[in-house]
Each structure stands twice: as structure tokens, then as C-alpha cells.
């Protein structure tokens, strides 16, 4: 049997640097644990535009469709700010999400004990925090038509369309309920049903799927503005949050920042099962391409390493190996090993991107 | 000359309780400062639905249009959750905003010194915080057409439309720049121009108005998801934030919660000048109707009192009287007078809604 395949799309900015550390871990898995992957690499985002005039070529898209898992670094940078909307680095990422139909985006917001003092929030508010935002990723205002900038009389009008079908809501709701069953069996769904009809449909469908298929899971509903408040006030009241593409974008970043360690947070974007039973899947750190520190060896590779751990768990059914990687990261943090972004008043051993990767390897 | 007129719409839940305290302050202004208003009262929200089958009658709408200022308490409650979308309490509030054309919603997020320990954020992150979110309030996805829940084949589809014209963006941008000139001369505009064309138009128009009319103001742009992060990370980096209706809803609630004192925060919604030179205006606390504590004398009336202070400043050009009210509130807080929501570990004198109103009166 062939090895499972991984397509690496390191992207722009710090993407290639943090991905280099993941490659070491992949190598270690093969050498020490006999778990081998066929790894190939390609371009996405600004670097793809530089090489081919598009942030994602059809050939790369086809490779992503065929891969057992895609690992993505980050896309974008000021160099590409003036590009036309249609070829911006982000379009490459959005095309991958849409064409691979990765409708369920899992964004854990976890507060690492060694880093609890790092948050702008008080220790007791965030210590031990472990919640997951399940964000719908292939629909809503990100993809709805009509969209564009039009001329109306003398002026321009900017239009986007928030559009959700019943089945789009149902499938992401199911994925949230499934996840909740493996955790504390509790889901909070967020929308603006008091203002938007798409929010009413969202609330109704989530409730229907719950009543029909997951009556054992505790379900609550909350307006998204209140959700933002409650995340800041007392985030531990939540376990799994399910929400749409745009609210998910904002709320997951808010939740991520609560933990104070953006450089630590991974994500998984999952779609329907392929012929081999594995879900279509793309894994990426929550942080961006951080152009301001790119190329300086300052980036924290942990979010990207933990994204690979999520791949082990969700794509390759290697939960134990995933835990092994996560424990190694925890140990390194407990030992006080710190990239620049993790350097707090309490000190620690300052390390570069490469040294952090090596420390995780050593802990493995 | 007739006295300036105020229409009071106390609304639902704790609305009438907190508004009762404002009426005392209005009375004090007449008795002690010779500043008299013609005050009338009417219904909005669930109570209007109970009385008339609609959350806002045409007669009340006409009174609001004619008033020099509208003071609103809060709308909504679980009793009305099952009502049809078209007659929900919120529709009353949204109709007022839309028909009075209150496009500029000022939401200060201010951290009161006596309450800095109250925030879930660390003291140094929020102490002294004083920022204002200027939220566009009459357009965007709240009002765009087409909207509704439709049948498509076998399934329902929920649709809303995000729609902004150049002039809608321009006028709220101007109001943010004007405000910035009276403060630290700094505006940050937030959208998702990397994903939404309406966000591209937003960014372009804000930049154009800046370059043409307010080149002296410092302007930056930020994606709204990053905005949510930065608000949590280090809110003092901001002074005036300008954003659209939906992002403004979520981000202003997030900002409000940073201060830890939601019961303290007022808001002003301003439109174009009327014939008498005063802007169309509605003032309301940021908090909601809090049905869980309604009728128990537990509500904090300060947000509503400070909303009246904003009315003195923005509608009646009585900045000094506004400051007088604000200083009285500060004194009461410094003296340790505390409604239940302000009761922290450090203690204080517990008071009811009425007692808090009386304490502010005494401090005046
Ligand atoms: C880069 C951008 C297109 C993207 C999004 O808006 O989804 C990012 O913010 C994210 O959350 O993954
Ligand atoms: C009550 C509701 C319609 C309203 C809104 O969404 O605008 C509220 O959340 C607000 O922020 O004033």
C-alpha cells in the first residue's frame, strides 16, 4: 500500500519558515515511528502569483484535491495589497476551501498552562480554557452572489450576499454535535436571528438537527454580538461554538486572542469523506503570514506543528501520535523554551524558529 | 420660546426602571438649573406590541420624528421570542433608526477608574481606556434587499444582502473624522476588504474622504477579524474606530465588555441636522432589556443616565451640564456606591436602582 500523501503549501511570509519545522517532525515520524508520508510541495498565495500570475494554479488545485491532507502555512503580505481582488493571495486560500468543499473549520482556543499569564485577560478567566469554534467555511457572505462594486447613478455601490441553504447549515451543525459528543456534550450556536433572516434559518435548522439527531447534546443559541461579549467576560462557559463563516472569522480571532498565544493555535478544515474514507482536509495555523517578522527566524512554529498534529488525528486516525506531538510541545513550553512572541516578563530561554522546532523534536 | 422636546421610549424589561432614574435627573435640571424640557412618553418594542400589535405605531414614529431628542431604554424579552420576525420588539428599534436616518452611532467604551478591577482583562490593559466606536447604523446587511427565507427546490434558503453606497460610507466616515478632531485625531477603519467587495468600497471611500477633507487626521485600516483581536490584546492602541453596521454591532459589544461595566455605557445615534439645527438623535444604553433581573430593582441606571448626558451634549449643546452629570456619576462610583452588577470582591455599598439614581442626584 502506498504511503498516505501530504501536500505542503507553505505560502508567504513566515509560512515557509514554520513549515520547515513541521517537515522535521514529519521526518521524525518516518524515521522513529515508521509512519511514512509521501510529501510533495507547491505554491499558494503571493508566491504563486509571482511565479504564475495566479494565487493558485489549476494544477495545484488538482494536487490538493488528490492529496490525503493539505498543510498550509500562511498567505498574503503588503507586497500584494495593490493587486486586483481576483488575484489577491487570499483568493488562493478561499478557492482551496471552496473547491475542496471544506465546510467545517475547527478552531480550538486553548490556553496553555505555561502561558496563562501571557493573556491580556486575568489568569483565572483563561487558565485551563479549552473551547472549539466550529466555523462554516464554504458559504455565507464569503461566497454568495450577487457580489461586486457597481455603478448606480452617480455613485458606486458595494454588494455582497449572505446566503445559506438548509443543507449547508445542517452539515456543519452535525459536525459540531459530533465533536461535542467527544467533548463536554454542549454546543452554543451563534447568529443574529433578531436582525437577519439567514440567522433565523440558521437557528431553526441547528435546532431541528439537534432535536432529530442529537437530542442528547445540550444546545443553546446566542446572538453573535452577545457571543463576543460572553467570550470576553467568561469564555469557560462555552465548549463547542458553531457559527457561520463571517461571525466565525471574527469570533474565532477574538477567542484565539483570549489565550494570549496566537502563535500556538492550529486549525483543521474538513469536508466530506473521500473514496478512501478520509475526509478532505486542510490544516493551517490560525496566525497569518506576519510579513513584519518574515525571514528573521523569529516566528513561532508551534501553531503549524500543532496543525500537523490535528492532521494526524483527523486525517490519519493516529490520535496517539497526535497526542505525542502535543505533549512534546507542552513539555517544551513548561521547560521555558520561548520564541520572541512568547517572551513574557517571567523570562525563559529565548530561541529562534529552528531552535523551537529542534526543541520539540528533542522532546519527542 | 418653547422648551426643547424629549420623547421617552422606555421599552421593555429593565427599560422603565432605569428610565425612571433619568426622569429624576431631567426634573433636577429644570428645578435647579432652569433647564426645562417638554417630556412626553410612548411605547416601543414588546410593550407596544402588547398594546397595539406592532412594536412601533405610526403615531409613535411621527412623535419621534418631531422630537428634539429621543431617549430609549431597551427592547425585547423571551416573551416575544416566538413572534413573527416582522413584529419582533427589535423591529421597532430598527424602524426608528432607519426612518430617522440615524446613520452615526457613537459607542464610547470607557473604563471608569473605580471599576478597572472589574474587567476580565488585566488592569493595565483597560485602566484609563477611552475609545469610541462609530458604527454605521442605517444600512448594510441590517437593511439590504433582497432578504428573507425562500424555498429552492426541496430546501429553504436564508438570504440577506450587505449593501453600501458611496454616500452612505462617506457620511459616517465624516462623522468619525469630525469626532477624531475633537479627540486624539486618529481613526481606524475596519472591514473585510480581503474577502468582501463592499469592504473594498468601504476602505476606498473612507480613504478618499480622508485625503480630500481630513488629511490632518491619522487614518489606518484593519481587517475586522484582526480588529477583534487587537481590541482584546491592547485596546488603548485605538481612539476612534469606524465600521459598518454588522461589524459595529459585534465589535462594540466586545469593546464594551472590555471595560467590565456594561451597565455603565451609553450611546448616541445621530442623523442629519433638522430645521432647528439640532441633529436627529436617539440616545440609549448599550445594555439590553435584561429580562432576568427586570422588576427587581437590581438594574444599574447609570448607562441610561449617561445616555441623557450625551443628549445634553450632542442635541442641546449643553456640554457643561453633560460634564456635570458625568462627574456626579464618577463621584458616586468613587464613593463605592454599587448596584449588584458592580459588586466586586473589593466590596462597596450595595444599592438598588432607585438608590443609585438618588445617589447621582445627591452628587449633583
Ligand atoms: C485570510 C482570510 C481570507 C481568512 C478569512 O477571512 O477567512 C482569515 O482571516 C482566516 O480566518 O482564515
Ligand atoms: C437589539 C438589536 C436589534 C441591536 C442591533 O443588533 O443593532 C442591538 O444588538 C444593538 O447593538 O443595538
- Say whether residue B224 is in contact with chain A using an 8 A CB cutoff: yes
For an interface test with A, the pick among B83, B95, B120, B286 (most A C-beta atoms closer than 10 Å) comes out as B120
Q: Give yes or no for residue B1 having a pLDDT over 90.
A: no
Between the CA of B96 and the centroid of ligand 1 the distance, in Å, is 35
Neighbours of A336 (CB within 10 A): 13
> Could you tell me which residues come within 8 angstroms of residue A198 by beta carbon, excluding any fewer than 6 positions away?
A140, A162, A163, A164, A191, A244, B149, B158, B159, B160
pLDDT of residue B290: 94
User: Which contiguous run of DSSP H or E holds residue A92?
Assistant: helix A89-99
Q: Which string of DSSP letters, residue by residue, matches A337-353?
A: EE-GGG-BTTB-EE--H
Confidence grade of residue B343 (pLDDT, cut at 50, 70, 90): confident
A258, B155: Cβ pair inside 8 Å? no
Confirm if A144 and A163 have CB atoms less than 8 A apart: yes
pLDDT of residue B248: 98
Which positions in chain B touch A157 (Cβ < 8 Å)?
A: 163-166, 201
Q: What's the grid cell of residue B359?
A: 445617589
Residue in B with minimal Cα distance to A249: B225
- For residue B152, the cross-strand partners are B155
B280/chain A closest Cα distance in angstroms = 23
Question: Quick one: B86 exposed, middle or buried, by C-beta within 10 A (0-12, 13-18, 19+)?
Answer: exposed
- Say whether residue A76 is in contact with chain B using an 8 A CB cutoff: yes
A253, B225: Cβ pair inside 8 Å? yes
- Say whether residue B207 is in contact with chain A using an 8 A CB cutoff: no
B200, A258: Cβ pair inside 8 Å? no
Helices (H), chain B: 15-33, 46-52, 58-66, 89-99, 123-126, 166-181, 197-213, 224-233, 245-258, 302-314, 319-334, 353-363
**Number of alpha carbons in the 13 Å side-chain half-sphere of residue A93:** 26
Q: What three-state secondary structure class fits A195?
A: coil
pLDDT of residue B29: 97
**Number of alpha carbons in the 13 Å side-chain half-sphere of residue B342:** 33
pLDDT of residue B344: 75
Nearest CB neighbour to A257, from listed B85, B201, B233? B233
Confirm if B49 and B15 have CB atoms less than 8 A apart: no
What is the average pLDDT across B17-24? 98
Neighbours of A277 (CB within 10 A): 7
- Say whether residue B155 is in contact with chain A using an 8 A CB cutoff: yes
Confirm if B123 and B116 have CB atoms less than 8 A apart: yes
Confidence grade of residue B241 (pLDDT, cut at 50, 70, 90): very high
Q: What three-state secondary structure class fits A110?
A: strand
pLDDT of residue A126: 96
Q: What three-state secondary structure class fits B254?
A: helix
d(CA A336, CA A341): 13
Whose cell is 451563534? That residue is A190
d(CA B328, CA A241): 41
Whose cell is 479627540? That residue is B183
Question: Quick one: A331 exposed, middle or buried, by C-beta within 10 A (0-12, 13-18, 19+)?
Answer: middle
Given the DSSP bridges, would you call strands A266-273 and A279-285 parallel, antiparallel or unpaired?
antiparallel
d(CA A243, CA B149): 18
Closest-CA residue, ligand 2 atom 5, reads B249
Distances in Å between the alpha carbon of B75 and those of B166, B230, B291? Answer: 31, 31, 10
pTM for the complete prediction? Answer: 0.96
Confirm if B96 and B61 have CB atoms less than 8 A apart: yes
Relative orientation angle of helices A319-334 and A15-33, to the nearest 10 degrees:
120
What does the angle CA B329 – CA B333 – CA B335 come to, to the nearest 5 degrees?
Answer: 115
Q: What's the grid cell of residue A36?
A: 511514512
Q: What three-state secondary structure class fits A250?
A: helix
A120, B152: Cβ pair inside 8 Å? no
Nearest CB neighbour to B162, from listed A88, A90, A159? A159
Size (chain A), residues: 364
Which positions in chain B touch A250 (Cβ < 8 Å)?
A: 224-225, 228, 247, 250-251
Atom of ligand 1 nearest to the CA of A75: 1
Neighbours of A48 (CB within 10 A): 23
pLDDT of residue B118: 87
Confirm if B242 and B206 have CB atoms less than 8 A apart: yes
pLDDT of residue B335: 94
Residues 235-294 of B with CB under 8 A from A: 246-247, 249-254, 256-258, 262
Phi, psi of B146 (to 5 degrees): -70, 155
Neighbours of B5 (CB within 10 A): 15
| From A31, A113, A216, A225, active-site residue | A225
Domains of chain B (ranges, CATH numbers): 1-111+261-364 (3.40.718.10), 130-258 (3.40.718.10)
| Angular region, B120: left φ>0, alpha ψ -120 to 50, beta rest | alpha
A164/chain B closest Cα distance in angstroms = 5
> Could you tell me which residues come within 8 angstroms of residue A291 by beta carbon, excluding any fewer than 6 positions away?
A12, A13, A76, A77, A78, A79
d(CA B46, CA B228): 32
CA B295 to the chain's CA centroid:
23
Q: Give yes or no for residue B261 having a pLDDT over 90.
A: no
Q: What three-state secondary structure class fits B320?
A: helix
pLDDT of residue B211: 98
Residue environment code for A167-179, b if the CB has 16+ CB neighbours within 10 A, otherwise e:
ebbbbbbbbbbeb
What is the average pLDDT across B72-84? 93
pLDDT of residue A347: 79
What is the average pLDDT across B108-120? 90
* Ranges of residues in chain A whose predicted pLDDT is under 70: 1
Neighbours of B268 (CB within 10 A): 24
Relative orientation angle of helices A15-33 and A302-314, to the nearest 10 degrees:
50
- For residue A32, the cross-strand partners are none
Residue A106 preceded by cis peptide, ω within 30: no
A70/chain B closest Cα distance in angstroms = 22
Q: Which string of DSSP letters, residue by residue, matches B86-152?
A: GGSHHHHHHHHHHHTT--EEEEEEE--GGGGGGSSB-HHHHTT-EEEEEEE-SSGGGTEEEEEEEEE
pLDDT of residue A2: 87
Q: Give yes or no for residue B5 having a pLDDT over 80.
A: yes
Closest-CA residue, ligand 1 atom 8, reads A249
Confirm if A48 and A55 have CB atoms less than 8 A apart: yes
Q: What's the grid cell of residue B260?
A: 467590565
Amino acid at each position: 500500500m502506498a504511503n498516505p500523501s501530504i501536500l505542503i503549501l507553505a505560502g508567504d511570509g513566515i509560512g515557509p519558515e514554520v513549515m520547515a519545522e513541521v517537515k522535521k517532525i514529519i521526518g521524525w515520524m518516518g524515521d522513529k515511528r515508521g509512519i511514512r508520508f509521501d510529501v510533495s510541495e507547491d505554491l499558494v498565495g503571493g508566491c504563486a502569483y509571482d511565479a504564475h500570475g495566479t494565487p493558485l494554479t489549476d494544477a495545484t488545485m488538482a494536487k490538493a484535491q488528490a492529496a490525503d491532507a493539505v498543510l498550509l502555512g500562511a498567505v498574503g503580505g503588503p507586497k500584494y495589497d495593490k493587486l486586483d481582488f481576483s488575484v489577491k493571495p487570499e483568493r488562493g486560500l478561499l478557492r482551496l476551501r471552496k473547491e475542496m468543499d471544506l465546510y467545517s473549520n475547527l478552531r480550538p482556543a486553548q490556553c496553555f498552562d505555561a502561558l496563562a499569564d501571557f493573556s491580556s485577560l486575568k489568569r483565572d478567566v483563561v487558565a485551563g480554557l479549552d473551547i472549539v469554534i466550529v466555523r462554516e467555511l464554504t458559504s455565507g457572505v464569503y461566497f454568495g452572489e450577487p457580489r461586486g462594486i457597481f455603478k448606480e447613478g452617480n455613485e458606486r455601490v458595494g454588494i455582497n450576499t449572505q446566503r445559506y441553504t438548509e443543507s449547508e447549515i445542517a452539515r456543519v451543525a452535525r459536525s459540531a454535535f459530533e465533536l461535542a459528543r467527544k467533548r463536554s456534550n454542549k454546543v452554543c450556536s451563534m447568529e443574529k436571528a433578531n436582525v437577519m433572516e439567514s440567522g433565523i434559518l440558521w437557528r431553526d435548522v441547528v435546532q431541528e438537527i439537534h432535536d432529530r439527531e442529537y437530542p442528547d447534546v445540550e444546545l443553546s443559541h446566542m446572538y453573535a454580538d452577545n457571543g463576543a461579549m460572553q467570550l470576553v467576560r467568561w469564555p469557560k462557559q462555552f465548549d463547542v461554538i458553531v457559527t457561520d463563516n463571517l461571525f466565525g472569522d471574527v469570533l474565532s480571532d477574538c477567542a484565539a486572542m483570549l489565550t494570549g498565544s496566537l502563535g500556538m493555535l492550529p486549525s483543521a478544515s474538513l469536508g466530506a469523506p473521500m473514496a478512501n474514507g478520509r475526509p478532505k482536509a486542510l490544516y493551517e495555523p490560525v496566525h497569518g503570514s506576519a510579513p513584519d517578522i518574515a525571514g528573521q527566524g523569529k516566528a513561532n512554529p508551534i501553531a503549524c506543528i500543532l496543525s500537523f498534529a490535528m492532521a494526524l488525528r483527523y486525517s490519519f486516525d493516529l490520535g496517539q501520535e497526535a497526542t505525542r506531538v502535543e505533549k512534546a510541545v507542552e513539555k517544551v513550553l513548561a521547560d521555558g523554551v520561548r520564541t520572541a512572541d512568547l517572551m513574557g516578563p517571567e523570562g525563559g530561554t529565548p530561541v529562534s524558529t529552528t531552535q523551537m522546532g529542534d526543541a520539540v523534536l528533542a522532546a519527542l
